[in-house]
Amino acid sequence: MRLSLNQATTRPYGLAETARAASAAGVRDIGLWLESVAEVGTAEAGRILRDTGMAPSSMSRVGFVADKEGVELEAAIDASKRALDVCAELEVPYLAFIPGGLGAPVRQSTDAGEARVRDALERLAPHAAGTGVALAVEPLHPLQVCDRSVISRVAQALRVIEGLPAERFGVLVDAWATHWDPELREAILLAGAQGRLRGYQIDDFVLPLPTPDYANGRVMPGEGWIDLRSISSWVAEAGYSGPVEVEVFNKDIWALPLEEIIDRMRSSAAASIPGIEIEERAR
Amino acid sequence: MRLSLNQATTRPYGLAETARAASAAGVRDIGLWLESVAEVGTAEAGRILRDTGMAPSSMSRVGFVADKEGVELEAAIDASKRALDVCAELEVPYLAFIPGGLGAPVRQSTDAGEARVRDALERLAPHAAGTGVALAVEPLHPLQVCDRSVISRVAQALRVIEGLPAERFGVLVDAWATHWDPELREAILLAGAQGRLRGYQIDDFVLPLPTPDYANGRVMPGEGWIDLRSISSWVAEAGYSGPVEVEVFNKDIWALPLEEIIDRMRSSAAASIPGIEIEERAR
């Protein structure tokens, strides 16, 4: 497994400077965000990646369909198709798909929410096949089940995509979102056995979470409470050998200089995941 | 199912005034807290309950064993035994048992944490049998897996107590803690079928949670995002017909006059659980 920088970790910085700084620091893989690509345009984003020698490991993100219908649902589906096109142009292997919440305060059942997610994914299947890009369903933390994701377990994500082609439909495992799950190891191994383990993102969990931005209180790998060594060993056991994205949503980290964030990310990942491939700083 | 006031909802108020106010408001069941009983002594607590005609529905709480060893573990076990004795004296049907966390930042595996919980429960089995009081394992929200409970799912709690006598070892289902679980209905039905569904507590979930007291941001039933009608229907389907405790940890609610809290609890429970038994206000 090798280190990748997810742009969420360096959110205030644009794609060009981020790609240059990552490349200079010996980080060769980058998890892209649609907003950051749109800022410069897809063609220019492609030039930036080529010029800096960066390989995209993933694209964030589309979805949020579980609590939508009518015009809003169609807009979400269309946005997913456009994002698949962008991924194809930039040779991004997979697009993160966030299910959407049960509804707050709408309150549909989990079954109903899962069914809407499944319907949306089935509708996207032909377009995904045409582009050659995979969709990776990302379970979010149970905190977010009402407003952002009806899917909070890896095993549940696998159940929702059951029967859809494995080369186009997989799961994205994020440590902060899934570390609490008592059956996480079994689910990760099952994802690997099914050929559906698309990506692995690391970050760390501490309490208390900030208010009101509860989701932006993640910390660097190794600085919190998650047993990242165990989870990483399960991911390896499942046969995954791709990029490990450091994806840390944290307002204090976003206030730091870009190179300092990348340095901290490198040292955190090295300390918390034994054997992770990290190049020497190139400069 | 009938309404019960859990003392956590009226935390600043002592047992005597709480029992009097609840009784006057037509609430005849009360979920006790050890600290509140200790404040007046067990004998006096018994007199208060008899004089006000209040029936104890549960006692909170002991446990927190999963990340303890040596002297600390022995102290937690001893405290559990003393609490069982108090429950027996006050004729409390069950004592809530909070498992304890994975350790923060100690980081043991879920399996290791579950094994410590199981060991502690096995050690408590003779004393529980002697007192005739049940221990109810309470899964907490996945947020709390590191610092307070390795057990975050009802199905997981049932797995940990498997084989222990059902009349002494059950589960306590709290809506805030478990509402997110995609397999909650199945787990509640299983608990019922095993004769292990000991208690049901309601409260409601909203984001954001307050900082730093993230656990004290629960709201009154019906004022948040949880589908309490569905969960309550599953509890009824599982054969449970006992008290439904309103247990709301909320600093703003604690600032209100006692009678206003009880009024709000009555109306919230009536609006969110169809058919719940609530007496007319007696005064």
pLDDT tens digits, B48-85? 999 999 999 999 999 999 999 999 999 999 999 999 99
- Whether pLDDT at B283 is above 60: no
Which residues pair with residue B32 across a beta bridge? B59
CB atoms A147 and B207 under 8 Å: yes
Name the amino acid, one letter, at A192: G
CB atoms A143 and B146 under 8 Å: no
Asked if A234 and A189 count as a contact pair (C-beta separation under 8 A), the reply is yes
- The interface pTM score, or ipTM, of the predicted complex is 0.94
Please, what is the angle between helix B70-90 and helix B110-131, to 10°? 40
Torsion angle of alpha carbons B118, B119, B124, B125, nearest 10°? 70
CB atoms A212 and B214 under 8 Å: no
Classify domain A2-272 by CATH number. 3.20.20.150
Bond before B165 cis per omega within 30 degrees: no
Name the amino acid, one letter, at B36: S
The DSSP symbol for A60 reads E
Residue ranges of the domains in chain A? 2-272
Region A58-75 average pLDDT: 97
- Whether pLDDT at B282 is above 60: no
What is the tens place of the pLDDT at every residue in B174-183? 999 999 999 9
What is the tens place of the pLDDT at every residue in A150-204? 999 999 999 999 999 999 999 999 999 999 999 999 999 999 999 999 999 999 9
Strands A55-63 and B197-202 turn out to be unpaired
**Residue of B117, B211, B216, B272 best to disrupt the A interface, most CBs of A under 10 A:** B211
Q: What is the distance in angstroms between the Cα of A223 and the nearest Cα belonging to chain B?
A: 9
Asked if A180 and B142 count as a contact pair (C-beta separation under 8 A), the reply is yes
A259: tokens are 């190179």
Specify the higher pLDDT residue, B238 or A1.
Answer: B238
Please report which confidence band the pLDDT of residue B105 belongs to, taking 50, 70 and 90 as the band edges: low
Model confidence pTM above 0.90: yes
Which helix (H) or strand (E) element contains residue A61? strand A55-63
Average per-residue pLDDT in chain B?
A: 95
Asked if B117 and B160 count as a contact pair (C-beta separation under 8 A), the reply is yes
Chain B's closest residue to A107, CA to CA, is B227
CB atoms B152 and A205 under 8 Å: no
The DSSP symbol for B100 reads B
Please report which confidence band the pLDDT of residue B274 belongs to, taking 50, 70 and 90 as the band edges: confident
Look-up of token digits 């660097």: A220
- Chain B residues with CB inside 8 Å of A230's CB? 109
Q: Does B215 touch chain A if contact means CB atoms closer than 8 Å?
A: no
Q: Which of A145, A182, A225 sits opposite B110 (nearest CB)?
A: A182
- Whether pLDDT at A6 is above 90: yes
Asked if B169 and A229 count as a contact pair (C-beta separation under 8 A), the reply is no
- Chain B residues with CB inside 8 Å of A223's CB? none
Q: What's the angle, vertex CA A189, arms to CA A269 and CA A181, rounded to 5?
A: 70
- Chain A residues with CB inside 8 Å of B206's CB? 104
